[in-house]
A and B are shown apart, each in its own frame.
Chain A
Amino acid sequence: MSEWWTYTLADIQSFSLQTWYRLFELYNRAIWPAHIAAVGAGVWIWFLLRRSDVRRGRVIAAILAGSWLWIAIAFHVARYATLTWSARYYAWGFGLEAGLLLWSGVIRGRIVFERRAAGLAIFLFALVAQPMLGPLFGRSWRQVEVFGVAPDPTAIATLGLLLLATGRVRWELMVLPLLWCAISGATLLSMKAPAAGIPLAADVIVVILALAPRRRNSRKEAR
């Protein structure tokens, strides 16, 4: 695309906010009652985080991998691709994240969780609060986005959980959720969606929180 730098987000945004909301309404109708299983899986994650089960890292990674793969196929390929050609690339991204979670978390068992209030709060926000915010921002209940089946709450919940994880692997797994939140926030922003700030704020908060311990460690090492 020539003079691509002259294009704004609004120039390449090819559908309306109303159509975006309707997309979720039709998607939710088509996959019901998968939401119950998805939220149930989210509650299970919360219980696992409260226990010191050695297998919890693998189980949580498996749940997240399943969610990312589901969204890649059932949302991006089957639904979102009817509105924009870019959805096929999003599907590859979500599929890749599912593969990374499967490889690092389930097969290699490299995701180890610690107790951290901030990460848990972000996870619970995505699981409980985010669907409820939809109606507050003018969406009907039928159009809400739910953890495990909708991309934004799943990406934000994943970021929250990765904040609880230790080691370098969490950064590797954070890249695609951070990227998705940036894309989603920009898309919503171009449509002047009231909730556009949520994924963007999640990105900023998660990066700050993820960097904060490293800074402390760096200072300790410097001394």
Chain B
Amino acid sequence: MTLDRRALLASLAAAGAASVLRPLSPAGRGPIVTRPIPSTGEALPVVGLGSWITFNVGDDVDARDSCARVLGAFFQDGGRVIDSSPMYGSSQEVIGYGLAKLRRPSQLFSADKVWISSGARGPSQIEESRRHWGVPRFDLLQVHNLMSWEEHLPTLFAMKKAGRVRYVGVTTSEGRRHADMEKVMRSQPIDFVQVTYNVLDREVEDRILPLARERRIAVICNRPFRRGALIQQVARSPLPPRAGEIDCANWAQMLLKFIASHPAVTCAIPATSRADHVRQNVGAAYGRLPDETMRRRLIAYVQSL
């Protein structure tokens, strides 16, 4: 299907005006959209929260308080999944700071990673991460960027068996090591994979996402906005026509709904340091999602910008 950009732009006013006149709030949009983790059926909201860069603020108390407000808004609007890594500087400590301020919300689904070349040092790194978060155990532990996965996965599976973590996964980003990821997905009883997926980076649609469905593996999508570059790229352009039909009030929601609408995707994890942005992001987990036709139109539209 070809896209008539002029027609799309012409319908901007209607779509944009509709979204402005009809402010959206979580309370007025029905239940949050969730997806089940295939291995257990546990439901997770389709939008979570990443912490790469945005939560690495060191010991800056003002910035930590700002991050705590982001967490507060995230939980208030129904968010659950928060993802971090030992690679992300002080992000784990800042998450722990925010969770303590919020009195450790019970809906938290904590996702962290092991990121160290030595398999023997994995457990101590995981324990340090757990202390930073201040949680009794992680819900999900992933091998970051598949680093030493052959050594770390047995540790994580043993932890799962002992009840010290609920789910096990592996991650990659920016399209790296997909062949290795496929190998792990085919050979290991993992619950989650984490990959880069957004309206422009869709390599995973070819093999990883279909394989995840086949193997009943949950999928977390990182870099949904290409570290903000994608938002900057589209921000000056009008929302696609019929954005209101899928309850989109802004580009962030449009881009997140695109990701969440893929049937293999469990959740996307945009990162932000602003409470108003996290509310926009979680807002994408409410209302309708685009169908296949609208997905194709959105791809064409963004590519045309």
Contact = CB atoms under 8 A, between A and B. Distances in A.
A and B: real partners? yes
A190 to B, nearest CB: 11
B246 to A, nearest CB: 31
A84 to B, nearest CB: 5
B176 to A, nearest CB: 5
Contacts of A208: none
A85 B177 contact: no
Interface residues of A, number: 19
A140 interface: no
B146 interface: yes
B interface, over-half SS: loop
A16 B89 contact: no
Contacts of B174: 6, 11
Contacts of A3: 176-177
Interface string B137-149: 0000000011100
A14 interface: yes
B146 A2 contact: yes
B147 A19 contact: no
A178 to B, nearest CB: 26
A74 B60 CA distance: 16
B57 to A, nearest CB: 5
Given A1-B145, A2-B145, A14-B89, A83 B177 contact: no
B155 interface: no
B182 to A, nearest CB: 15
| A3, A13, A23: residue with the most chain B Cβ atoms closer than 10 Å | A3
Contacts of A37: none
A82 B58 contact: yes
B102 interface: no
Contacts of B58: 15, 19, 23, 79, 82-83
B52 interface: yes
Interface string A47-62: 0000000000000000
A6 B53 contact: no
B56 A15 contact: yes
B90 interface: yes
A82 B177 contact: no
Contacts of B173: 11
Given A3-B176, A79-B58, A14 B53 contact: yes
A179 B45 CA distance: 46
Given A3-B176, A6-B174, A26-B60, A14 B145 contact: no
A34 interface: no
